């Protein structure tokens, strides 16, 4: 009986540790595909998403709080000047099947053309055009 109890206890601890690590283990990578001269000029996040800008064309998202199952937002602006830009709101999180652009607004010639994603990857291309 003691052996059964010990095995059950160890299994419970292992499953609990595994489940806690699964709550918010995501990282998504974003690439900006835009005409020459356009770069990320502003980026921030809210709720349970942390954003890290890698360079003028790349950023990544991951959980702010690893014990939370909530989603969050990323706010990113792509521009060549204050007169020619697009701002996107992206919803992302641990139980989002894929990040979603929930809002976009553009001023000037730049237009948001959509998101490309290779199935099975965690890389998303945000496409812009004139």
Q: Provide the pLDDT confidence category of residue 45 given band limits of 50, 70 and 90.
A: very high
Task: Kindly indicate whether the domain formed by 26-129 is annotated with CATH number 2.60.270.50.
Answer: yes
* 66 vs 23, higher pLDDT: 66
CA–CA separation, 75 vs 105, rounded Å? 11
pLDDT greater than 70 at residue 117: yes
Q: Where are the domains of the chain?
A: 26-129
pLDDT greater than 70 at residue 72: yes
Cβ(70)–Cβ(48) below 8 Å: yes
pLDDT, residue 89, reads 98
Cβ(86)–Cβ(111) below 8 Å: yes
> Does the predicted TM-score (pTM) go above 0.85?
no
């Amino acid at each position: 009986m003691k052996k059964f109890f010990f095995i059950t206890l160890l299994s419970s601890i292992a499953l609990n540790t595994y489940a806690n690590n699964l709550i918010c283990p995501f990282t998504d990578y974003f690439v900006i595909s835009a005409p020459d001269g356009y770069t990320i000029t502003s980026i921030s996040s809210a709720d349970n998403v942390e954003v890290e800008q890698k360079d003028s064309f790349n950023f990544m998202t991951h959980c702010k709080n690893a014990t939370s199952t909530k989603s969050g937002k990323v706010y990113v602006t792509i521009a060549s000047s204050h007169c020619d830009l697009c701002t996107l709101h992206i919803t992302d999180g641990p139980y989002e099947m894929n990040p979603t652009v929930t809002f976009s607004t553009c001023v000037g010639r730049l237009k948001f053309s959509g998101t490309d994603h290779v199935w099975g990857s965690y890389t998303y291309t945000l496409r812009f055009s004139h």
